[in-house]
């Protein structure tokens, strides 16, 4: 065998040992405005793209991914369990100028309905209701603190070494609700294994009937804050987040064909455009360049 033929054979043997991506990359990785970003294959967990992927940043309301995942991980969870809305939940939202599902004091909503209220309009009142219900302790403060501790223990169990929570909703009083793009993508990948989570984040609008405080019924309507659902074909979620320390954030996932990818952009003024670019990179698509996509995400700039 000649040296050239031997070298070719050796190279072929080496390539056979390397993992082969199922994506066809016709273009180089995109440039994104995000300070941190990560994209992974949901099936294999393989990283497809990273930018400051292991740098800790605040995560705003993407925190609620863990809040809901932790509730769904409760042994014997009853999603139809009724929970009464406390006045303190409304007071909490008002005092923190937080996003709200506009839960009305005395109304009874099921756990399932509170999942929608937490993830679609990003209701901090709904997140508090879940923390107060599934935490442990004699007071609301004790139960909420217990729930946050459970969030941290779950993060550790999932191997999210760079993730830390000091809140159940992203309102971080000490700036210690932090994660990395890689960790947050892994968390979303885990959350999407729960059928109820996947169903909720893939819902553009939820109309739910709850028992009102006076015994009558009340209709709640919550619209998903994630513009990707309407803008990018195949999107299945996941969660928006915005506050001053964190900047605009987005956790997103999409399926095309047999492939599902999960992505994160943190502190990104062009979060939807960058999400589209990353999905195009994974799917060898040009959707994010289309007029339809660009028109649908323009409303984010006006918010």
Q: Which residues are catalytic?
A: 61, 64, 122
Cα separation of 303 and 300, whole Å?
5
DSSP assignment, residue 203? Answer: -
- Measured CA to CA, the distance from residue 8 to residue 11 in angstroms comes to 5
User: 276: closest CA among 290, 256, 257?
Assistant: 290
Residues sharing a CB contact under 8 Å with residue 75, sequence separation 6 or more, in sequence order: none
Phi/psi at 189 (5° precision)? -60, -45
Classify residue 288 as left (phi > 0), alpha (psi -120 to 50) or beta: alpha
For residue 108, the SS3 value is strand
Q: What is the number of other CB atoms lying within 10 angstroms of the CB of residue 241?
A: 26
């Amino acid at each position: 065998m000649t040296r050239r033929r031997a070298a070719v054979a050796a190279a072929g043997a080496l390539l056979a040992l390397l993992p082969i991506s199922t994506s066809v990359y016709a273009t180089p990785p995109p440039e994104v405005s995000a300070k941190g970003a990560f994209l992974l294959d949901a099936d294999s967990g393989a990283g497809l793209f990273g930018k400051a992927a292991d740098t800790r940043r605040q995560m705003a309301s993407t925190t609620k991914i863990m809040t809901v995942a932790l509730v769904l991980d409760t042994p014997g969870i009853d999603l139809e369990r009724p929970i009464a809305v406390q006045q303190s939940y409304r007071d909490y939202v008002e005092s923190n100028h937080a996003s709200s599902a506009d839960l009305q004091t005395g109304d009874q909503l099921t756990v399932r309905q509170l999942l929608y209220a937490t993830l679609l309009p990003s209701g901090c009142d709904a997140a508090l209701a879940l923390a107060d219900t599934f935490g442990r302790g004699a007071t609301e403060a004790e139960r909420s603190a217990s729930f946050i501790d459970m969030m941290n223990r779950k993060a550790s169990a999932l191997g999210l070494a760079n993730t830390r929570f000091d809140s159940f909703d992203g309102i971080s009083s000490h700036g210690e609700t932090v994660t990395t793009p890689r960790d947050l993508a892994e968390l979303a990948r885990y959350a999407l294994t729960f059928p109820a989570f996947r169903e909720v984040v893939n819902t553009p609008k939820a109309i739910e009937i709850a028992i009102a405080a006076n015994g009558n019924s009340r209709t709640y309507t919550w619209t998903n804050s994630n513009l990707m659902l309407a803008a990018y074909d195949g999107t299945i979620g996941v969660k928006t987040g915005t506050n001053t320390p964190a900047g605009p954030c987005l956790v997103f996932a999409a399926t095309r064909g047999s492939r599902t990818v999960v992505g994160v952009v943190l502190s990104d003024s062009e979060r939807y455009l960058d999400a589209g670019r990353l999905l195009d990179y994974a799917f060898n698509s040009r959707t994010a360049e289309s007029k339809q996509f660009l028109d649908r995400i323009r409303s984010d700039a006006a918010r």
